Amino acid sequence: MKLSLEYLVKEPKIKLDKNPLLLLIHGYGSNEQDLFSFAAELPGEYYIVSARAPYDIQYGSYAWYAINFDADENKFSDNEQAKTSRDLIAKFIDELEANYPIDAKNVTLIGFSQGAILSYAVALSHPEKVQRVVAMSGYINPEILEENHLKNSFSNLKIFTSHGTVDQVIPVEWGRKAKPFLENLGINSTYKEYPIGHGVSPQNFYDFKHWLL
């Protein structure tokens, strides 16, 4: 089945008329295998789909958008590519619902790093497509949200945000801005920190799984 993004899928152990979806969105320079290693540990009633980012950066590594450095080694994101990926993920959700018996009212995005940044962008731009987000080690980039996102209703959206306090890739200060940003939009959110770097600790995994249930 050819959809807009390459992906791996784990079918639910418990087949319902319509099953909920967990869509895993990996970080920069990784691939669809990365978060899929969690799949066996996640609840059995879900379709678990792990998507591969569209931009190939060699050797089995992919990105949702380019991260460029200027002459002073300042990092900046290619926001146009990020918006393209945001729209691709939104379209991919529709395609999954068209091709699998997925409950469109029970869709969760689980993103890490660049995948978390995109998960926020998709959910805040298209809250009608996504009900829950787990955003780990990322941040909200307002520049890649749909221009009219403030007109959206966020009443069905719940977000779990987490960050490592010694993250050397995305500073924890950036992660901490998410909760006030989301609260300002009236979104139900949970924020947790862990004494780790840029990664997912066992406690982090346990906490978001518990939150999902």
1 belongs to a structural domain: no
Predicted local confidence at residue 136, as pLDDT? 98
Q: What is the pTM of this model?
A: 0.95
DSSP labels, 61-100:
-EESS-EEE-TT--EEE-HHHHHHHHHHHHHHHHHHHHHS
Domain total in the chain: 1
- Which among 99, 112, 104 has a CA at the least distance from the CA of 21? 104
pLDDT digits (tens, 9 = 90+) for 15-27: 899 999 999 999 9
- Which among 61, 75, 64, 4 has a CA at the least distance from the CA of 29? 61
Does pLDDT of 106 surpass 90?
A: yes
Predicted local confidence at residue 75, as pLDDT? 72
101 belongs to a structural domain: yes
Please give the backbone phi and psi of residue 56, each rounded to the nearest 5 degrees, phi first.
-85, 120
Structural domain range at position 16: 7-212
44 belongs to a structural domain: yes
Burial 34-61 (b: 16+ CB within 10 A, else e): bbbebbeebeeebbbbbbbbbeeeeeee
2 belongs to a structural domain: no
CATH for 188: 3.40.50.1820
